[in-house]
A and B are shown apart, each in its own frame.
Chain A
C-alpha cells in the first residue's frame, strides 16, 4: 500500500489511500473468476460434444467431466478467497 502511495506521489498525481487501494485490490481479485467461468464453459462444451457424438459413453464422460470441473472451479475460488481475505483481514 505504501509503495503504491509513494509511486503515485512521485508520478505527480494524488496518492491513493490504503483503504482505496485495498478495495481496488478486492475488485481486481474478483476479475480472476472470469477465467474460471471461461474454463468451465469450455469443459461443458467438450462434454456436450462428446455426449452428442456418443450418448452411450455417458458413464465414461460425465464423472471425468465432474472431476475436471472441480479443478477448474477451485482456481476461481482461490481468487474469491483472496478477495474475502482482503476484505476481512487486511
Chain B
C-alpha cells in the first residue's frame, strides 16, 4: 500500500485508540472525568437469565413454577438453525464440481474425518464420526456466533434510560447446562461403543478381581498383593471415567465464561481497536475448545473399544 493510503488510516487508528483510552474507563478514572462517556459498566451475570416463562410467572429475576426459556436456550436454538441452514443449503444441489458453500462444507468434513480416522483407524473412525462431527460443529458455531455484535446489545431494559439488563441472546457455552449436556452425551456414547465391542466383558476393565481371587485360592501372598493392587486400579479406572464428566464440563464452561468476561472488560477499559485482538483470541479459543472436546471424546472412545491386553502373571 502506498504511503498516501497508509498515513490517513494510521492517523485515524491512532485517534480512535487515544479517544478510547481517554474517554473509556482507564482515562476517566486517571484524569478524573467522572463516569466514562463512551461505555457503561458491564453487568456480569453467571447464571443465564430467563426471557420468557411458560406456565409460571416471574418473581424478580427468576421464573417460579414454570419452564424458563433462558437467553442461552434461545441462542442455542439460533445456532442450531444456522447450522441446519448452512449444511442443508450447502448440500442441496450436490454436484461433482462443488459450489462455494459445498466446497467449504467438504473442507470441514474432510478435515475432521481425517483427524478422526488418523486416531481411530478407518472402520472405527467412520463409526465415531457422526457424533464427533456434531459435537465439534455445535461447540464451534456456538462459540463463534457469540462474537457477533448483536449478542450483547439486544435485550430488555429495567429502566428506559439505562443499559440493557436482560440480554435476549447469550453465548450458549456460558450456561453450565450445555457443556454438562455435551459431556453426558460424550460419556454415554463412549460407554455404549465400549459395550458394543466388548459386550458385558467391558466391565472387566473396572472389576479386576481375577488375580486377587486366584491368589486367595492358591494362598500365595505375592499374588494376593498384586491382585489387590489390580483391583484398586480397576476402581480408579471407574472413578476416572466419572471424573471425565466434570472435567469436560468445566473445561468448556470455564473457557467460554472467561472469554466473555475478558471481552466485556477489555471493551470497557479500552473502547476501540484493542478489543479486536481479543476477538481474534476468542475465535481461536472457540475453535480450539471444539477441537479439544472432540479430540478427547475420540481418544476415550478409542481407549474404550481397544482390545483388552491380556495380563498373564504366573508367579
Pick the contact of B296: A67, A77, A88, A89 (CB < 8 A). Answer: A67
Answer yes or no: A42 CB below 8 A from chain B CBs.
no
CA distance A85 to B255 in the complex (A): 14
- State in angstroms the CA–CA spacing of A12 and B250 once bound together: 40
CB of A26, distance to nearest CB on chain B (Å) = 13
B200 within 8 A of A: no
Please, how many angstroms separate the alpha-carbon atoms of A74 and B295 in the complex? Answer: 14
Assembly CA distance A42 to B295 (angstroms): 22
**Contact present for A67 and B295 (CB under 8 Å):** yes
Contact with B along A71-90 (1 / 0, CB 8 A): 00110011011001100110
Q: CA separation between A29 and B17, bound complex, in Å?
A: 34
Q: How many A-B Cβ pairs are below 8 Å?
A: 40
Docked complex: B13-51 residues within 8 A CB-CB of A: 44-47
Query: A8: CB under 8 A from chain B?
Result: no
Q: Does A7 contact B (CB under 8 A)?
A: no
Within 8 A of A (CB), among B247-272: 247, 250-251, 253-255, 257-258, 261
Shortest CB-to-CB span from A20 to chain B, Å, is 21
Q: Assign chain B's interface to a size class.
A: 10 to 19
Q: Is the interface of B mostly helix, strand, loop or mixed?
A: helix
Closest Cβ of chain A to B177, distance in Å, is 15
* Whole-angstrom distance between the Cβ of B55 and the nearest chain A Cβ: 27
Given the known A-B contacts A73-B251, A77-B251, are A84 and B292 also in contact in the complex, defined by CB atoms under 8 Å? no
Q: Is the CB of B46 within 8 A of A77?
A: no
* A81-B295 in contact (CB<8A): no
Report the Cα distance A67→B253, complex, angstroms: 18
Once the chains bind, are A67 and B46 in contact (CB under 8 Å)?
A: no
Give the contacting residue for A84; candidates B46, B291, B296, B299; CB below 8 A.
B46
Query: Are B254 and A81 neighbours in the complex by a CB distance under 8 Å?
Result: yes
Indicate which residue in A78, A88, A89 contacts B254 across the interface (CB closer than 8 Å): A78
B250–A88 touching, CB < 8 Å:
no
Task: For the complex formed, measure the closest distance between the CB of B54 and the CB atoms of chain A, giving whole angstroms.
Answer: 26
A73 CA / B258 CA spacing, docked (Å):
13
Bound-complex Cα distance A70 to B261 (A): 21
Residues B257 and A74 in contact, CB atoms below 8 Å apart = no
CB atoms of B299 and A80 under 8 A apart: no
* Cβ–Cβ contact A84 & B257, under 8 A: yes
**A80 contacts B296, CB within 8 Å?**
no
Separation in Å of the B80 CB from the closest CB of chain A? 26
Please, could you name 17 A-B residue pairs with CB atoms under 8 Å apart, sorted by A?
A: A66-B291, A66-B295, A70-B292, A70-B295, A70-B296, A73-B251, A74-B251, A77-B254, A80-B258, A81-B253, A81-B257, A84-B46, A84-B261, A88-B45, A88-B46, A88-B47, A89-B46
B residues adjacent to A (C-beta < 8 A): 44-47, 247, 250-251, 253-255, 257-258, 261, 291-292, 295-296, 299
Other contacts beyond A66-B291, A77-B254, A77-B258: 5, CB < 8 A: A67-B296, A70-B251, A70-B295, A73-B251, A81-B254
